[in-house]
Amino acid sequence: MFASATRPPAVREYHRFIYQSVTVRIVLQCQQAEKPEADRRQDLFYFLYEARDPDTGQRAYGEDELRAESSLLIIAGFDTINISLSSIFFYLTGDPRRCQKLTREILTTFESAEDIIHGPKLQGCSYLRACIDEGMRLTPAVPSEHARKVLAGGLNIRGEHYPAGTIVGTAPWASSRSRAVHGEDAEAFRPERWIVDESDGDTTEEKLAQYRSGFYPFLSGPYSCIGRHLAMMEMTLIIARTLYGLDIRRAPGSTRGGGRPGLGWGATDRKQDAYISLRHGPEVQFRKRTL
């Protein structure tokens, strides 16, 4: 029913929350069964609950499976975006010049906060997208390797043969900070690397393709994140509306978010070893902008 008693209290509490929330939501689903479809609460859970096996016509998910899916959706749709936003604001508040550059793009593109909606104008904010990509590159929401099992026949990777059954994986933290891919400033926050500028040769089409080759914040292939477009829409809206209406800065004297000696193994600098990135900050101050 709940997580093992040997697991940390926070994990047990999370599993308890999932169990109880799904139980309540199933009750609601049953209560609204007699209502016209247009009057029902048609959230994501609604469609998971109503999904049917095309061959048997039976429900596609049992209660345990609904709880597992709900747990995954909460982690994927909440923690990952929060981590990415925290990272982006951390780097922006540590680089006032680039923060001002991004703010100028937003203020000159939109006439009001209400004008900032998902559409061509927002998607056309190239520096905004570059800042998001750079933040996700430096702090991938899921920095650990994504394990895969080698299939029958084995697999050759860069001259090494891995027999069937071998567990392999690539850690986004390592690949996104590779100097072989991103150059000597791989550890630096430089959104300009994602914008082609042939005039000074800094980022050419060839270099951009090289950067993209080591950048998979949402993974790739058949197991890539199905919510990646929604995540990008949410982040662009949140950042654009925040910077349109608010001045931001790092809290004076704050060291949270950057790591420091004394925090323990894996947290003495920005690198923290966990499946989902861990955070200590950042501490950011906001002030209403006078337009």
pLDDT tens digits, 122-135: 999 999 999 999 99
Please tell me which residue, 262 or 38, carries the higher pLDDT value: 38
Residue 1's pLDDT is: 45
Least confident stretch, 75-79, 119-123, 226-230, 238-242: 75-79
CATH number of the domain that 196 lies in? 1.10.630.10
What pLDDT does residue 200 have? 58
Q: How many CB atoms lie within 10 A of CB 80?
A: 21
User: CA-CA distance, 289 to 19, in Å (whole number)?
Assistant: 43
Tokens for 88, please give them: 């982006």
Is residue 20 assigned to a domain?
Answer: no
Instruction: State which residues form the domain around 246.
Output: 96-144+172-288
Q: Give the whole-angstrom CA distance, residue 80 versus residue 78.
A: 6
The better pLDDT of the pair 233, 276 is held by 233
Which has more confidence, 243 or 269?
243
Q: Is residue 151 part of a domain?
A: no
Q: Cα-flanking dihedrals φ and ψ of residue 148, to 5°?
A: -135, 150
pLDDT in tens, 164-211: 999 998 888 888 889 999 999 998 999 999 999 866 567 889 999 999
The reported pLDDT for the residue numbered 173 is: 85
Q: Give per-residue pLDDT as tens, 44-103.
A: 899 999 999 999 999 999 999 999 988 888 877 777 888 899 999 999 999 999 999 999
Residue range 137-150: mean pLDDT, rounded? 85
Give the residue carrying structure tokens 């990646």.
228
Residue 277 lies in a domain: yes
Query: Which pair of structure tokens corresponds to residue 165?
Result: 């059954």
Planar angle of CA 240, 128, 87, nearest 5 degrees: 85
Q: CA angle, 218 as apex, 212 and 223 as ends, to 5°?
A: 115
- pLDDT bucket at 282, cuts 50 / 70 / 90: confident
Has 225 been labeled as part of a binding site? yes
- Residue 67 domain-assigned (yes or no): no
Residue 259 has pLDDT above 90, yes or no: no
State which amino acid sits at residue 276. I
CA angle 39, 43, 45 (to 5 degrees): 120
The verdict on residue 68 lying in a domain is no
Give the mean model confidence (pLDDT) for residues 107-122.
95
Please, which residues bridge with residue 149 across strands? 167
Lowest mean pLDDT among 13-22, 135-144, 219-228: 219-228
Q: Which residues contact 100 (CB under 8 A, 6 or more apart)?
A: none
The mean pLDDT value of the chain amounts to 86
Asked if residue 44 belongs to a domain, the reply is: no
Residue 182 lies in a domain: yes
- Domain annotation covers residue 192: yes
Number of independent structural domains in the chain: 1
